[in-house]
Amino acid sequence: MPETWSRIDSWLMGEAWVGSQIADHLSFLCDELGVRWAGSENERRAADYIASQLVGDRMDPPRLEPFSLDTSTCQSATLQLVGEPDWVIDARPGLFCESIQCTAPLCDAGYGMPHEIKDRGAALAGAVALLDAGLEPFSDPLPISRRLRDLSEAGARAVVTTAPQPGRLLQHTSGADWREGDLTNAALPLLQTSREDGARLRRCAGSDARIAIDVQTRRFQTNSWNVAGGITGERMSSECLLLSAHHDTTPDSPGANDNAAGVAVLLETARLLTGVGPALGVRPQRSIQLVSFGAEEQGLQGSSAFVDQHYGPDPLPQLMVNLDELATGPMKGVVLQFPELRPLVQRQLDTIDEGLRCHVLSQLDASGDMFPFARRGIPASFLWRWRFVGRHAEVRFGHSSSDTLDKIRLRELKEYAGLLARLLLRLAQLPADQWPENRLEPTQIAQRIDAETDTVFRTM
C-alpha cells in the first residue's frame, strides 16, 4: 500500500479532468455508429472499437469473445381502432414480443391488479387489455410480468400499455421477469402506445370499442460479442477485480446514457489505471479485468455467456463493478448485491474523502450485467443509476431514440472515471489477508432468487 495517496489521487483526478478521451468515445459510439442492437454490424463495430482502446502500459492484449445470441426483430406493428380508419395509433411491441394478429374488444384493465381483474370478470376473456404499467398507489406492488400472467389466466389475448412520458415518446419494454433466466417468457404479447394515444384509447374502452392488432416478428440465432482486456497484477495476479459495462442498445436508440456513458467511463478508467504506472511508478498489485458485454438489452445474454465460459475454470473475481446509465447523476458511491464486503469497500471510500457511501440491496437486481455474476456467487456491485433519487430529468429517455448525447453531462463522467480509478487502485493494493474469504453459495443464492421472483425491486 502506498504510504500516501495524495500524489496518486492528484494525478488520477487531474488526468481524468484535463486528458479525458470520454467525449471521443461518446461521439464514436453514438454519432458515428448510433444504434447498436446486439447481433448487428454496428454492435460488432462497437466491439472492435472498444478492443482497439483497451491498450496501455502492461495491459493484456484485448480479445473479442463471440457467443451465440437468441434475438428477435420486429418487421411490422400496427394498432387500429375499428371504425377509426384515420387514427394512426402509436405502437411499439415489447422486446421479444411474439407475432399476433387479432381483432378483439378493448378492455380497460386499470393497473391489472387482482381486484381489478376480478371486477372486470368475463369482459377480459378474449379481449385486448389496456394496462397502466405503473404501480397502483398504496397497494402491495406487483411486477408487470406477474400482472401479464394474471391477465392471461383471465383470458386476455394481448396487452397494450401506455408510455409514461409525454410527447409521443415510445420506449422498448419487456414483459418478462429476467430473474427467471428467460426474456422470452412473457405471458402475453405486449405493446406500448404513446401517453397521448393511450389516454384516448382509455376514453374509448368504455364504449364497446374493438381494436385490431397486427404484429409480425422474427426470432433467429446469430452472434454477439463480449470484449475483454485487463491489467495483470504485479504480486497477486491470480486475484482480480472486474470492471464492466455493456455496449449494445435497444433497436432504435443511440444509447448515450444507456450505455455509451458506461463504456466511455470503462475505457477512461482503464486509461488512468495504465497511465499511473509510467507516470508515478504505481501499478495494481491485483489484476483488474475490463469487460464490455454485448446483448445486455436482450436478457443479459453476453454477461451470462461470459460467466458460463470463465467461472468455472478461472478463479472467481473478488469483486465485480458494473457501469450502467452513469449519466443519470453524479457518483454517490457503490451498491453491493451482498453485504460481506461492505466494511472493506466503505473503508476505501472513506480514504477518498468525497462523502461516497457503500450500500447493500435488499433484493438481487436482475436488471443489469451484475446479475449473472451474483447468481454465480461472485460479489457483484454497481454504481448509482436509475434506481436512486437525484436523477437528472434529461436522461429519462432510456430505451428510446431520444437517448442522445445532448443529455450527457461530460463533467460528471470525468469525475466518475477519476473516482473509480482511485477506488479500484486502492482495492487492488490491499494485502490478501485483509480481503474476506468468499463464502457465497450459488445454491442458496438460487433459492433467494426464487423467493424474490414476482416481487418489485425497491429503488431506495
SS3 167: coil
Q: 183-197, 361-375, 386-400 — which is least confidently predicted?
A: 386-400
The average pLDDT across 277-284 equals 94
What are the backbone angles phi and psi of residue 198, rounded to the nearest 5°?
-65, -40
Residue 386 C-alpha cell reads as: 436509475
* CATH of 83-208 given 3.30.420.40, 3.50.30.30, 3.40.50.1820, 3.40.50.2300: 3.50.30.30
- How far is it, in rounded angstroms, from Cα 234 to Cα 409? 35
User: How would residue 314 be classed by pLDDT, with cut points 50, 70 and 90?
Assistant: confident
What amino acid occupies position 95? Answer: L
The average pLDDT across 90-104 equals 95
- Pick the closest to residue 403 from 294, 201, 276, 257 (CA basis): 257
- The SS3 of residue 33 is helix
Stretch among 148-157, 343-352, 449-458 having the lowest mean pLDDT? 449-458
Per-residue pLDDT, averaged over 26-41, amounts to 98
The contacts of residue 311 (CB under 8 Å, 6+ apart) are 376, 378
What percent of the chain is predicted at pLDDT more than 90?
87
CB-neighbour burial class of residue 279 (10 A; exposed 0-12, middle 13-18, buried 19+) = middle
Q: Looking at the domain covering 6-71+221-452, what would its CATH class be? A: alpha beta
Give the Cβ contact number of residue 281 at 10 Å: 8
The pLDDT of residue 460: 61
Contact status, residue 266 vs residue 290, Cβ threshold 8 Å: yes
Out of 10-19, 35-44, 52-61, 95-104, least confident range: 52-61
Helix locations, 260-408, DSSP H: 261-280, 301-310, 342-352, 370-375
Confidence of residue 248 (pLDDT cuts 50, 70, 90): very high
What is each CA distance from 55 to 193, 230, 270, 271, in whole angstroms? 44, 9, 8, 8
In sequence order, the 6+-apart residues with CB closer than 8 A to the CB of 181 are none
Over residues 32-54, mean pLDDT: 98
Domain boundaries, the chain: 6-71+221-452, 83-208
Q: pLDDT tens-digit profile of 207-230?
A: 889 999 999 999 999 999 999 999
Query: CA-based Rg of the chain, rounded to a whole angstrom?
Result: 23
CA dist 207 → 10, 81, 195, 201, 334 (Å): 68, 12, 20, 10, 51
Contact yes or no for 91/191 (Cβ under 8 A): yes
Q: What is the mean pLDDT of the chain?
A: 94
pLDDT in tens, 142-156: 999 999 999 999 999
The mean pLDDT value for 374-383 works out to 95
pLDDT digits (tens, 9 = 90+) for 285-300: 999 999 999 999 999 9
Residue 376 phi/psi, 5-degree rounding, is -80, -5
Cell of 96: 421479444
What would the mean pLDDT of 107-123 be, rounded to a whole number? 96
278 phi-psi bin (left φ>0, alpha ψ -120 to 50, beta other): alpha
Helix 261-280 × helix 410-429 angle, to 10°:
50
| Residue 115 three-state SS | helix
Q: What is the pLDDT of residue 423?
A: 98
The pLDDT value given to residue 177:
85
